[in-house]
């Protein structure tokens, strides 16, 4: 259990580009539209790497690859929709 005041990042601890994440979500969901990139906002980070030091200190190690986690979450979300949606 964690009772500290600092936030704990939940992540796999691996470097990932925003493009890779967007393409993973697209592939898992079957989205066939275009992914639009707002190039007027170049100050954002093109890659994401969460610091999972606190998470690891709690004994957590990821057991599910990102793609599988996205797929499971999407399947769960679909199951929450009212019938016919």
Q: What angle do CA 48, 31, 85 make, to 5 degrees?
A: 115
pLDDT digits (tens, 9 = 90+) for 27-69: 999 999 999 988 787 666 766 777 888 888 888 888 898 999 9
pLDDT at position 13 is: 75
pLDDT at position 42 is: 66
Is there a contact between 78 and 28 (Cβ–Cβ < 8 Å)? Answer: no
pLDDT at position 36 is: 92
Res. 15 pLDDT band, cuts 50 70 90: confident
What the block records as the tokens of 30 is: 């079957």
What the block records as the tokens of 19 is: 């493009």
Q: What's the average model confidence in pLDDT over 5-18? A: 83
């Amino acid at each position: 259990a964690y009772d500290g005041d600092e936030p704990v990042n939940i992540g796999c601890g691996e470097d990932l580009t925003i493009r890779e994440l967007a393409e993973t979500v697209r592939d898992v969901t079957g989205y066939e539209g275009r992914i639009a990139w707002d190039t007027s906002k170049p100050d954002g980070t093109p890659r994401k790497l969460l610091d999972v030091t606190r998470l690891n200190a709690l004994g957590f190690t990821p057991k599910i690859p990102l793609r599988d986690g996205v797929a499971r979450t999407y399947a769960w979300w679909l199951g929450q929709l009212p019938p016919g949606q």
